[in-house]
Structure 1
């Protein structure tokens, strides 16, 4: 019997989790689910958080340092990184525009959102986070009874929680420089930043700085460091792999626990939760499809007029199909290179330089999904993020995408980084996990398509592309 693929196991875990959640709500077993099943979901979140920080650190250092010596970067390296950065910002901006237009998180019923909001405020008080929009439901006595049901805290404890963020906010509301956000990015103690997930921007800054400096020292000095960094990075990627092998079980516990906490013994709320997820999924999917079929072809047409719209998709079809099935742009890289070289006519000197960098730093699909996910999760918890806070999402998502490993579900690990950056609960990834695997397949297609687009633009600018319109199946061999 053929071994069942991991994504099918995860889908089975999702279905069983949904069935259990429905059964648990209808039979009044929610408390049992929360006490005896949900803790395994917490373990899963803790494992992902454990891996997230070092994975970002070593992935970014390795990605930047492996570009080559400073001289080899030159004109082509600058253009490559610049265009990758532009497409990433385009993807994030498109995602933010769609999620603010559709507002999928606000399509859930109001009572569920109020419950979510109360849970968020209790969590923020416990973790010492400031309430993002300055509104505090725990200050309203009308919500005390419901807050007690959700948290099992006494009224005095709830009142104390309701003022915790106000005290913290008063302490920080001193003379703040307009450039304070820029100052906050540069750490004065890197080890302190490592021990505080909320300071992820400082870790990313250090990783970029460290990686660039490795390019400016002699090879005999930098090579042992690079070998060590690459080796450590491989260990953490293996950790992700091992954790994901247990994902089917964890998905079941996550889904059962999260739904039980949000719905209690009211089965009607379960329906509301999945209605919200369907709108979220459609929003992400719309953004990803627009990137594939509108944004990339438009950008390509501006710079490489010789490649027709349908010709590009015929040429990249094998790589896009493999990306969809594997959910890994790294695993697809050899096929992507063959498609770009044989079908688009890009010189091997260009593809061997641009595409491996793209597999590391160009995660447009992941970036778009993260932007939509953060705002959706904020919306369903009745949190209105300001323009400045959404700008923080753009910056952090752009930087985090550099360290997003080109393996299945690595974007989910990076989402923890982005949620931390705006002071939201990283455990909320459990809410969107049920649909993550399906969306991950489309995200990877976006990433691979973006890599090929940028590679073609760079090749054209260097006059190193020779596109001939032909049937790709004549020269392309997937087994080669």
Structure 2
């Protein structure tokens, strides 16, 4: 029996914790009327401790994880100088598609209002960041006066800018700063390992958060959560089947149906694995089968797995509107622009591993003063959504790679259309 339990994946354990927490919370809400047992022992102590301890562990990861990821990601782009316009076009397309993704998500959240009816306004006072600040203040606040102070206080926008600057300098001085480069690379690996350890506590944390939430909200809280899921799926669908195909047609005049027919196996693999990184070899191999030069894909696909997280950006955009509506917080125009900028930058600092987008979601929440406790409500169903958004992420990597390869004349259209077979440099990658 224990051997079977060990074979259950972490994602499934999180899903189990979510379901058990939801039903246990509803059971407490409707069938347990003893105030001492229900509220004092369970709600205010056991569940509060378990849920908030997990939230604190996630918040503990945010600053060092994002900082190290961004430094390593930017410093590794030194090859841009060798491949010229390929790097510039790739980064520009990745950033633009992510900005479009989070804009779509915010628009869906504004229109469909997934958090409406989920009254969590009592916790809104935990916010300590000015929400309706001017755009001038927003721009000035991203420039760190004291980088160490920004790191200590978790002011993520200055931390991101500081990380980008350091990464850029390390890229230019790579041979002279080899020790520092290795330090950040190894630090990034440490933070990835630490994230894996923290995520092992996720099922317990999710159970406590869901039980506490639905122990007080009951069935009234289920509808907004279902609306949140629908909003995220709509956003992912628009990005995958409207935005990406449109870009492919506009820039290459190729048939999107042909692309999806050939690429579907990679999307299914990404869906089942929930990790962009694991899909890198299969993605490059499939693109080579479709006529894309490996000289291009070997750069753009790994880079995309690091900085192109459109699916994650959509989740974060919808989550921001969900939380703002649930807490009764009216986000101004400058706050929405801040969310777009922060979500784009967070996607750059998000590793291509399962559910790590939820860790950087706390950064997006903090950027506009939203209580991070709202993450606990959506955490339980994130594994399922993570599967969908990973499929969207790798699809975006492939589409952007095809566009860049086409513009740089490194794309054999005849191979894509099936008129001839690709001349592969690497056989049997997967």
Q: Give the TM-score normalised by the residue count of structure 1.
A: 0.82
Classify the secondary structure of the residue corresponding to 2:84. Answer: helix
Is residue 66–residue 349 contact of structure 2 (8 Å, CA) maintained in 1? yes
Quick check: 1:5 aligned with 2:44?
no
- CA-to-aligned-CA distance 1:292-317 (integer Å, 9 cap, x gap): 11110111111112x32221112211
Structure 2 counterpart of 1:293, from 241, 259, 266: 241
Q: Which runs of 5+ in 1 are unaligned?
A: 134-172, 264-268
Asked whether the equivalents of residues 361 and 401 of structure 1 are also in contact (C-alpha less than 8 Å), the reply is: yes
Aligned to 1:136: none
Check whether the contact 1:363–1:401 (CA below 8 A) recurs between aligned residues. yes
- The one-character-per-residue Cα deviations of 1:343-381 (angstroms, maximum 9, x if unpaired) are x21001000011111011100010111011011110111
Deviations along 1:389-445, one digit per CA (max 9) or x if unpaired, are 111101111111100111101110010000000111122210111211111111111
- The answer to whether the Cα contact below 8 Å between 2:142 and 2:158 also exists between their aligned partners in 1 is yes
Q: Is the aligned partner of 1:361 residue 2:307?
A: yes
On the 8 A contact 2:80/2:88 being kept in 1, the answer is no
Alignment RMSD (CA, Å): 2.3
Q: Give the equivalent residue in structure 2 for 1:257.
A: 212
Distance 1:211 1:254 in 2: 37
How does 1:38-77 map onto structure 2 within 5 Å?
38-69=48-79, 71-72=81-82, 74-77=84-87
Alignment of 1:303-318 (within 5 A): 303-305=251-253, 307-318=254-265
1:17 is matched with 21
Say if 2:170 is the partner of 1:214.
yes
Runs of at least 4 residues off by over 3 Å: 474-479
Cα contact 2:273–2:387 (8 A) shared by 1: yes
Taking the aligned partners of 1:183 and 1:75, their CA distance within structure 2 comes to 31
Paired position in structure 2 for 1:322: 269
1:333 equivalent in alignment to 2:280: yes
- Is 1:244 the counterpart of 2:191? The answer is no
User: Which of the two has higher C-alpha Rg?
Assistant: 1
Equivalent position of 1:381 in the other structure: 327
> How many residue pairs get matched?
416
What TM-score, normalized by structure 2, do the two folds share? 0.92
Task: Kindly indicate whether residue 122 of structure 2 is the aligned counterpart of residue 101 of structure 1.
Answer: no
Secondary structure, aligned partner of 1:221: coil
Contact 2:93 2:400 in 1 (8 A): yes
